[in-house]
Amino acid sequence: MDGKTPLAWAAENGHEEVVKLLLERKDVSPDKANELDETPLWRAAENGHEGVLRILLERNDVNPDAIDELGQTPLSRAAEKGHEGAVRILLDRGDLRGDVNPDASDIYGQTPLSWAAQSGHEGVMMILLERNDVDPNTASKRDQTPLMYAAGNGYERVVRTLLERNDVDPNAISGVGQTPLNWAAQGGHEGVMKILLERKDVNPDTGDDEGKTPLSWAAWNGHEGAVRILLEREGVNPEAPNRFGQTPLQLAALNGHERVVRILRDETSIPTRLTNLADHQSHRLSTIRITEL
């Protein structure tokens, strides 16, 4: 199945004694990859089997930094899955022999730190951030930094950990023009938003490539709490239009978020009789009665 060898199956499931028995045979290739280019070591790292990792890493014919078809190394996969012990073992091997890259990028441009941040594994992040050869600002091919991934998924502790560093940019711009605050607002992650807004150097009203501000994103997705948090912040324009001319109020109305419309209606100077809405693709204008909500 998927070209897995008996050794790969044993490594994947953490069967140390079976791994040792198989490695005694001359006809067993310890580094043979399956159809997805995953080696036995890669599979052991993915599942956090520290004993198997140590057995395989004792050999000179096992590549500790072999990549799968998506360019992920064993370290990257272990970091994504949150296996702190496996991460330490692989990093120790790299420090000893220089054959494990702690900051390697895969085909998406994501590093072990990026994967750990995206998955919310604070412990793995702390291990990686202790190193001088790991860049906490490395962006993916979509220009998303570890902070953006953590903010977009609502991982408050990870966000705080990253923001404690002076070399992490809280206003970094992704490939679609979104800041960490934009990503947090889009997902309605109130805790992350509060953490970011505690900082004086975070712009609460930055528009992305479509001109959507954090408030626009929160309104568009119906996140009432996020909308209230942003409206309390000085410097947030509740009537800022996107590049299609749509305000947060119009975006909320377009998606039928009644409670958000009520909140924004009370904050804006838009006439309360009729509001014209232009949709995302500049289709025909619609009319919604704001006062009837």
In whole angstroms, give the CA distance from residue 77 to residue 127: 15
The pLDDT of 106-112, averaged and rounded, is 98
Asked if the model's pLDDT at residue 1 lies above 90, the reply is: no
Q: Classify residue 214: in a domain, yes or no.
A: no
Query: Where would I find the beta strands (DSSP E) of the chain?
Result: 274-277, 286-289
pLDDT of residue 3: 81
Asked if the model's pLDDT at residue 124 lies above 70, the reply is: yes
pLDDT > 90: what percent of the chain?
A: 89
> What is the pTM for the complete model shown?
0.87
Q: Classify residue 57: in a domain, yes or no.
A: yes
Contacts of 269 (CB under 8 A, 6+ apart): 239
Q: Classify residue 25: in a domain, yes or no.
A: yes
The SS3 assignment for 277 reads strand
Q: Classify residue 72: in a domain, yes or no.
A: yes
Find the DSSP H helices in 67-179. Answer: 74-81, 84-97, 112-119, 122-129, 146-152, 156-163
CATH number at residue 114: 1.25.40.20
pLDDT of residue 270: 52
CB atoms within 10 A of CB 289: 11
**pLDDT, tens digit (0-9, with 9 covering 90-100), for 187-245:** 999 999 999 999 999 999 999 999 999 999 999 999 999 999 999 999 999 999 999 99
Which of 33-37, 115-119, 270-274, 279-283 has the lowest average pLDDT? 279-283
Task: State how far the alpha carbon of 107 is from the alpha carbons of 34, 71, 83, 113, in Å.
Answer: 19, 5, 22, 15
In whole angstroms, give the CA distance from residue 93 to residue 89: 6
Q: Classify residue 232: in a domain, yes or no.
A: no
Q: Classify residue 160: in a domain, yes or no.
A: no
User: What range does the domain containing 18 cover?
Assistant: 1-135
pLDDT of residue 2: 75
Q: Classify residue 198: in a domain, yes or no.
A: no
Confidence of residue 269 (pLDDT cuts 50, 70, 90): low
- Report the number of distinct structural domains present in the chain: 1
Task: State how far the alpha carbon of 183 is from the alpha carbons of 116, 155, 263, 271, in Å.
Answer: 17, 12, 21, 30
Asked if the model's pLDDT at residue 53 lies above 70, the reply is: yes
**pLDDT, tens digit (0-9, with 9 covering 90-100), for 153-192:** 999 999 999 999 999 999 999 999 999 999 999 999 999 9
Q: Classify residue 22: in a domain, yes or no.
A: yes
End-to-end CA distance of the chain: 58
